[in-house]
Amino acid sequence: MSKMISNLPKGLISEKWTSHKGKINLVSPSNKRLIDVIVVGTGLAGASASATLAELGYNVKTFCFQDSPRRAHSIAAQGGINAAKNYQGDGDSTYRLFYDTIKGGDYRSREANVYRLAEVSANIIDQCVAQGVPFARDYGGLLDNRSFGGVLVSRTFYAKGQTGQQLLLGAYSAMNRQIGKGRIQMYNRHEMMDLVLVDGKARGIIARNLITGEIQRHSAHAVVIASGGYGNVFFLSTNAMGSNVSASWRIHKKGAFFANPCFTQIHPTCIPVSGEHQSKLTLMSESLRNDGRIWVPKNKQDAKDVREGKLKPTEIPEKERDYYLERRYPAFGNLVPRDVASRAAKERCDAGYGVNKTGEAVYLDFSAAIERYGKEEAHVKGLDENDTSVVKKLGDKIIRNKYGNLFQMYEKIVDEDPYNTPMMIYPAVHYTMGGVWVDYNLMTTIPGCYAIGEANFSDHGANRLGASALMQGLADGYFVLPYTIGDYLSKEIRTGRISNDSSEFMDAEKKVMDSLSNFISNKGKNSVDFYHKKLGKIMWDKCGMSRNRSGLKQAITEIKSLREDFHKNVTVPGKIDEFNEELVKASRVADFLELGELFAKDALERTESCGGHFREEFQTPEGEALRDDKNFKFVSAWEHKGEPSKAVLHKEKLDYEEIEVKTRSYK
């Protein structure tokens, strides 16, 4: 217990961060030159942290497994980034963003962290614009906003459907500036294999060069993990193929507590699974819910006919359609938070109203929006508003301008034209709110080891609102970590260069080598993907959108035996000292097979429903999540004790001083 001190500053919530910054220990510029920091991962959090730390004067070594830092999966974020700028004058404020985030997270996040996030959010936009990020603008040349799920204001800044790309390229360019100056040493195509502790402090990492297979020892005064989330434990997710839990999991095994592993976000609008061969799922931005209406047929026979290809969705008349989100949640309608929308889709499909071949899809329909925009445009242009072909043409054009790239993507994948027939969507794993436990300074329970961005657990509670992941990644990297890390490093100014020849480094290197050799010499009969797919199926069926006691118990046993089978029967071709993708995958899947079990264990122990964690035993008569604030208003932080089943639970109590804890309602 003593290890877990959240270091929350005292005082008014609105002054906590300012006063904390004022009191924090600093490192002098001349001493910063003597200090090395390792950053693992180059998404928004990792790239922005690397750039800022280097700019402050630290020697930064940054690692990514991709061939360029620009390819980290933050690049795929589509919709936008939230900031409490109130440019639209619609009543937004730091407090409202803070409130929305806490409420959206179903009261399972830390107040002080979330307030800080809301506070620095406005600065992110200023920073990005100064870096040349081309956000969308209106005709007056000022920044434009749109609306996202779970909120009643327009505070989302965006760059068409490629906001993540533009923000990441901004952070990447800031990194490039420092790489060019020699302040950052960049290690592309390198994978972190383990964390090295010396006297209980994080002192470096073992990395593998993915081109040559060389195992390397890198020392530093602090290690920052910015390796993203673990959604790929489900095999099928919207994450990139390479996204993995390994960096987080390896530090967990070295003593970092892992918090709320079962809090996973299932995104409601993804392209449904088409077949056995599927390797990943594609997200359709939440921004589509601004204009699209979600429905399924009202009667089962229609749904059946649609599935069998006898009926087209456009042939189903308006009164035979069930716009279930509008029906159930009149206040927020199609813009309810993601967990709510996902569950509602699952509920309809389970009840037999699903619409694609597999019965696991609902419609996202733009025809009403096309007609509305078309009529408006026709009116402006003085054309006949009742001429359907004119209206359709004009409406299509407006929709194309707003979502063109998403529609094109859909058409390429599904081979149907979403301008003329409704899109089919289904929920898919997208983001993990859980992650490495960190204190207010973003330090894990290992001194000198930090976790930022999606890799940590801190800001989103049990459910993340749309357009908040980008905000958190950049807030951590640009504005939080660079300050808070000084508090620890100020005590390291006399340490001097850290040797990477110490026994601790040698031991860690040897362990990595041994585990890799085991894979190579195993010569089993099944490929790595075989196990990953099996794990994914267990996770999706039993730890997915809704969970129950017996299912979770089964999952724990099944994952455990699958893991044993994996280590006995997996086959990895090739050698260690060469480019070997199967070997890389094997070592990642080994970690997923451990995490998956902890995930299920966490879900089993949390006997309440909140946010993305829905336990079937705990629901209201209308099927809404039923929270248990009396017994579960805490963060579950797990301490590793050899294997997942033996992990020890530590509870960080959540106190709400500013916000009254209520039942979340979007009705």
Partner 1 sequence: MNLKLKIWRQKNSNSSGEMVDYNISNVSPDMSFLEMMDVLNNELISKDQDPISFDHDCREGICGMCSMYINGRPHGPDDLVTTCQLHMRKFKDGDTIVIEPFRADAFPVIKDLVVDRTAFDRIQQAGGFVSVNTSGNTQDANTIPIQKGNADKAFDAATCIGCGACVATCKNASAMLFVSAKVSQFSLLPQDKVEAKDRVLNMVKQMDEEGFGNCTNTGACEVECPKGISLENIARMNREYLKASIKD
- Check binding of 101 to partner 1 (CB under 8 A): no
List own/partner pairs for 640-648 with CB under 8 A and 24 or more apart. Answer: 640/252, 640/253, 640/255, 640/258, 643/594, 644/594, 644/595, 644/597, 644/598, 644/601, 645/556, 645/560, 645/597, 645/601, 647/258, 647/598, 647/601
Q: How far apart are CA 427 and CA 289, in angstroms?
A: 13
Stretch 218-257: interaction string toward partner 1, x if CB under 8 A: --------------------x-xxx---------------
Which is nearest to 528 in space by CA: 188, 192, 190, 232?
Answer: 232
Residue 141 sits in the site that holds partner 1 (CB under 8 A): yes
User: Dihedrals φ, ψ of 230, to 5°?
Assistant: -120, 30
Q: Which of 17, 98, 107, 135 binds partner 1 (CB under 8 A)?
A: 135
- Residues 600-659 binding partner 1 (CB under 8 A) are none
- Site pattern 29..48 for partner 1 (x: CB under 8 A): -------------------x
> Of residues 326, 376, 565, 582, which one binds partner 1 by CB under 8 A?
582
Residue 177 C-beta: closest distance to partner 1, Å? 4
Gap between the Cα atoms of 150 and 421, Å rounded: 27
Instruction: Give the one residue of 366, 403, 478, 505 binding partner 1; rule: CB under 8 A.
Output: 478
Shortest spacing between CB 440 and partner 1, in angstroms: 19
The verdict on 97 binding partner 1 (CB under 8 A) reads no
When binding is defined by CB under 8 A, the residue of 180, 317, 382, 642 that contacts partner 1 is 180
Catalytic residue among 338, 348, 606, 627: 338
| Nearer residue to partner 1 within complex by CB, 158 or 353 | 158
Q: Residues 521-540 vs partner 1: string with x where CB under 8 A?
A: ------x-x-----------
Q: Binding residues for partner 1, how many (CB under 8 A)?
A: 82
Beta carbon nearer to partner 1, 226 or 391:
226
- Smallest gap from Cβ 531 to partner 1, in A, equals 12
Instruction: Restricting to residues 384-443, name those near partner 1 by CB under 8 A.
Output: 408-409, 412-413, 415
- The contacts of residue 233 (CB under 8 Å, 6+ apart) are 245, 535, 536, 539, 592, 595, 596, 599
Written as six digits, the tokens of 661 are: 């804890």
* Least Å from the CB of residue 387 to partner 1: 29
Determine, following the binding rule CB under 8 A, whether residue 275 of this chain makes contact with partner 1. Answer: yes
Non-local (6+) Cβ contacts of 410 within 8 A are: 271, 284, 416, 418, 423
Q: Which stretch binds partner 1 (CB under 8 A): 167-175, 339-347, 436-444, 492-500?
A: 167-175
Taking the CA atoms of residue 664, residue 665, residue 666 and residue 667 in that order, the dihedral angle to the nearest 10 degrees is 170
- Is 76 a binding residue for partner 1 by CB under 8 A? The answer is yes
Q: Does 166 bind partner 1 (CB under 8 A)?
A: yes
| Under 8 Å between Cβ of 60 and 47 | no
Among 42, 59, 66, 472, binds partner 1 (CB under 8 A): 66
* 3 state DSSP class of 37: strand
- How many angstroms separate the CA atoms of 352 and 555, rounded? 25
Contacts of 80 (CB under 8 A, 6+ apart): 146, 148, 156, 157, 158, 163, 287, 466, 467, 470
Instruction: Please tell me whether residue 479 binds partner 1 under the rule CB under 8 A.
Output: yes
Q: Does 152 help bind partner 1 (rule: CB under 8 A)?
A: no
CB of 77 within 8 A of CB of 431? no
Q: Please, what is the minimum distance in Å from the beta carbon of residue 86 to partner 1? A: 11
| Minimal distance, residue 555 CB to partner 1, in Å | 25
Strands 59-63 and 184-187: parallel
Question: 211, 506, 648, 649: which one contacts partner 1 (CB under 8 A)?
Answer: 211
Residue nearer to partner 1 on the CB measure, 183 or 348:
183
Closer to partner 1 by CB, 6 or 176: give it: 176
520 binds partner 1 (CB under 8 A): no
**C-beta separation of 335 from 399 below 8 A:** no
Is residue 338 part of the annotated active site? The answer reads yes
Contact residue for partner 1 among 39, 125, 247, 637 (CB under 8 A): 125
Output the CA–CA distances (angstroms, integers) from residue 350 to 58, 287, 336, 340, in the order listed. Answer: 54, 26, 20, 15
Catalytic residues: 338
